[in-house]
Amino acid sequence: MTVVEAPAPPQGPGVVPPFPAPPVEGRGVRIGWGLGIGAAILLLVCGGGVAAVVGLVTVAGKALNEQAHVVVGDYYSAVRDKRFAEAYDSQCQEVKDEESQAEFAQRFDASKAVTAYRVGDIDVTSVDLNVPVEVTYAGGSTAEVQVHLGQSRDTGEFQVCGVEE
């Protein structure tokens, strides 16, 4: 027969436990500090992310605007200087398919000859890439036109894909 020993009775009051007891005082302060520091770090990380996105959008907008000014400026410089072949070549293929180079040159006859132009800023909030241009013609009349931009499938550069008066 086997003998089963009964467990020892619990120790009485004043006995030292075999492990140190966790501190009780100051627990709420430490939790508060921990949560506060965690919230501050989260705010810094998220705030830095927002600042990075705003900076990226600003820089990208300025880069788009600069490229648009160059492309539209080159187009209207060529038209103004009657270098119609160069202006025609700066257009996207869809526009070239609708109009021959000779027809393009005829559009800018003596009454529609461009003498000056001023390129505005591209609207980066729009889905379409449109650039406003104030054009002055030979007779002294002016017009506000919208130049539609597209990208070349071969080079990725902007091209003039239409002018809307």
What pLDDT sits at residue 122?
86
What pLDDT sits at residue 25?
66
Round the CA-based radius of gyration of the chain to a whole number and report it. 37
Pairing of strands 142-151, 158-164: antiparallel
Select from 118, 137, 121 the least CA-distant residue to 129. 121
Q: List, for residues 23-80, the tens digit of each pLDDT value.
A: 666 677 888 899 999 999 999 999 988 899 888 888 888 888 899 999 999 999 999 9
Q: How many CA atoms lie within 13 A of 69 on its CB side?
A: 10
DSSP code, position 110: G
Q: List, for residues 121-156, the tens digit of each pLDDT value.
A: 987 777 788 999 999 988 889 999 999 999 888 888
The residue among 1 and 149 whose pLDDT is bigger is: 149
Q: How far apart are CA 95 and CA 60, in angstroms?
A: 27
Domain residue spans of the chain:
36-164
Q: What angle do CA 164, 156, 74 make, to 5 degrees?
A: 50
The answer to whether residue 21 scores a pLDDT higher than 70 is: no
DSSP code, position 20: P
Select from 150, 158, 81 the least CA-distant residue to 113. 81
Q: How far apart are CA 12 and CA 6, in angstroms?
A: 18
Domain 36-164 architecture: Roll (3.10)
Tokens of 159: 């091209």
What is residue 134's three-state secondary structure? strand
Q: CA distances (Å), 151 to each of 20, 50, 68, 71, 156, in order?
A: 72, 29, 11, 11, 5
pTM surpassing 0.85?
no
The answer to whether residue 8 scores a pLDDT higher than 70 is: yes
